[in-house]
Each structure stands twice: as structure tokens, then as C-alpha cells.
Amino acid sequence: MKRLLSLTAVVAASALALTACGNADPLADDPDSGATGGAGQGGAPLVIGSQDYYSSEIIAEVYAQALESSGLEVERQFRIGQREAYLPEIESGAIDLFPEYTGPLLQYWEPETEARLADDVYAELAASTPDGLRVLEQAPATDQDAYVVTEDFAERWGLETIGDLAKVDVDMTLGANSEAESRPNGPGGLAEAYGIDVGFTPIEDGGGPLTVKALTDDDVQLAIIYTGDPSIAKNGLVALEDTEGLFLASHVVPLAGDAVGEDAAAVVDAVSAALTGEELLELNRRSVDEQLPAATIAEDWLAGRDL
């Protein structure tokens, strides 16, 4: 309830800021906001982009509709591609707002970073963004690799974190792509970071249906699956919290250019505060299972949250 109240307050504050400029036009320039009327510089629309990835497109569409409902004009440039394609466009100012992921984005600019945990990654990312760019508030939602177990297995052994696996007194096998066996988040990394020994079975589908089936059939007890994968909720799976940073933290975070003023930033920050891991899973599930367009998913989600 406190989160919902705080979100309502943020959005209400944003709306007041947009209408308190003493001008009948809510898109008129506000000299104190650092940008023109919440739209792009010179009154141009804010350009919002997304990766060529359904989840990224949905989040970008949520940003777009939230900003439009606040009286701002936006332009959509979705499904652009991967970082090598779209980051130069953001850095040049051709794109003003983009949903990103903290860990991978930090590694793009700081390949040698040693930050792993969420707060450390976010702080270093905020300090590493090039001139003319900034990251807004990160969302609770993540889209990253994680150790996943079945709900039954978690309840049986009282598992919430990876460290809790130390309480399990039966043999465990980890299922993942073959290259994971020698990676830092494979069996060796798990033993080094948490002191937990597991076997390994290669499953070559990147955490897809074969991996899920092996997990639910108890052929493996532990698997590496993305936290944003709708199969987690659909199959009653549980992602274990990584307290030691075995996996690079990857929270959803808006990357914004100078054209995004404080009014627009407040609207997007309210969206981020509402975007929990469970909410992102549901957005992704509607795309995968119901085959709905991003615009419909975003509109329904926003309508249900008064954003």
C-alpha cells in the first residue's frame, strides 16, 4: 500500500509540475525544468527506442504511454537491434530514452568492472555514463541469469537464497548450456562463492523448454534461467537470491538523454518503481502466451496502476 501511495504521489507531482508553469499550453517551455515542456529540445517529441526483444519493446511502450498520458509528445523507434546498433544513436542524441539493463550496460562502458551486486552496479553505472546521458531510477525488476529451482524443492528445503542450498542434504545437479560448466556461475563458481558442490548436466537450449522440463521432472534440481522468462511463473519455479554476486546484477533501468527533463523523468521513475520482478514476468507472459502486441500489454498494465 505504501508503494502505491508513493507512486500516486510521484505521478501527481509530475502532473502538477506540468501545469504549474503559468501557461495554458502544458507543452510550453519550462525554463526551470532543464528541458522544453517535457518534450525534446526545441519542442521536438521525445524519441523512445527499444531493443529487438519483446520485453524491451513492452517496457519502452509503457514509458511512451505514461509520458503521453502526462501530456508529452513522443516518437517510437522500437526493435532497433543490439547495443552496438542503438547505443551510438543514444550517445548522439538521436534517441532520448531507452529501457536498458544495469549490468550489461555497465560492462559495455566499463568492461573491466568488478561490480556485481545491484547497488554497486547501479552506482558505478551512474558514474560511467557519457556526457549528455544519465540513468534514471532502476526498477526492482531484473532480467538476468539466475539459479532456479522448483517451488516444491524450495519449500522442502526452505530455500530463498543461493546460500540456502547448503541446507540441502541430497545430491544436486545443475542443468545449463554446456559452456556454463566452465564459467564463473557454473559448478566451480558455486563451490567457490558459496561452498556448495553440485553435479552438472548440459542442456543446450539456453534455459528453454528442455531445461524447464528437466527441472520439473527432477532430472536436475537447479537450472540457469533468465529471471524475466515467463516460464518461471508458468511452471511454479523460484529464482534464488544471489547475495554474493555470482551473477551480474541486471535491473531494468531507463537510459535518458539531455532532452528528458525532470517532469518526464519523474513519470518514468514512477513506472520503474512499479515494475517489480513479478510485474515484468506478467508483462512478458502476456506477450509469449497470449501473443498480444506491446501497445495493448502496456495500456492494460498502466490502466491497472493509475500511472
284 in Cβ contact with 58 (< 8 Å): yes
* pLDDT, block means (10 residues), the chain with 307 residues: 38 38 35 43 86 97 98 97 94 97 97 97 98 98 97 98 98 97 95 98 97 98 97 95 97 98 98 97 96 98 88
- Quick one: three-class SS letters along 70-97? CCCCEEEECCCCCHHHHHHHHHHCCCCE
Q: Which residue, among 70, 121, 98, 59, has the nearest Cα to 250 in the 3D structure?
A: 121
CA angle 137, 36, 31 (to 5 degrees): 95
Q: C-alpha 111: how far from its chain's center?
A: 20
pLDDT at 169: 96
Q: What are the start-end ranges of the E strands in the chain?
A: 46-49, 74-77, 97-101, 133-135, 145-150, 173-176, 199-202, 222-226, 237-239, 252-257
Write phi, then psi, for 38 (nearest 5 degrees).
85, -10
Other residues' Cβ atoms within 10 Å of the Cβ of residue 124: 16
- Identical fold for domains 2-142+249-303 and 145-239, yes or no, is yes
**Model pLDDT, residue 40:** 57
CA 104/CA 130 separation, integer angstroms: 15
Question: Do residues 80 and 50 make contact, with C-beta atoms less than 8 angstroms apart?
Answer: yes
φ, ψ dihedrals at 195, nearest 5°: 70, 30
Q: CB–CB of 204/177 below 8 Å?
A: yes
CATH assignment of 2-142+249-303? 3.40.190.10
> Strand 199-202 and strand 252-257: pairing?
unpaired
Task: Return all residues near 86 (Cβ < 8 A) that are at least 6 apart.
Answer: 49, 51, 80, 95, 98
pLDDT given for residue 39 in this prediction:
59
Q: CB of 141 within 8 A of CB of 250?
A: no
Which pLDDT does position 234 carry in this prediction?
A: 93
Give every CB contact of residue 186 below 8 A, 6+ residues apart in sequence: 174, 176, 180, 200
Task: Show me where the domains of the chain are located.
Answer: 2-142+249-303, 145-239
> CB atoms < 10 A from the CB of 23, how many?
12
Model pTM score: 0.84
> CA 21, CA 30: separation in Å to the nearest integer?
6
Please tell me the CATH superfamily of domain 145-239, with its number. Answer: Osmoprotection protein (prox); domain 2 (3.40.190.120)
- Residue 205: phi and psi, rounded to 5, are -135, 20
pLDDT for 3 equals 37
Whether residue 214 contacts residue 253, with contact meaning beta carbons closer than 8 Å, is answered with no
Residue 30 has a pLDDT of 40
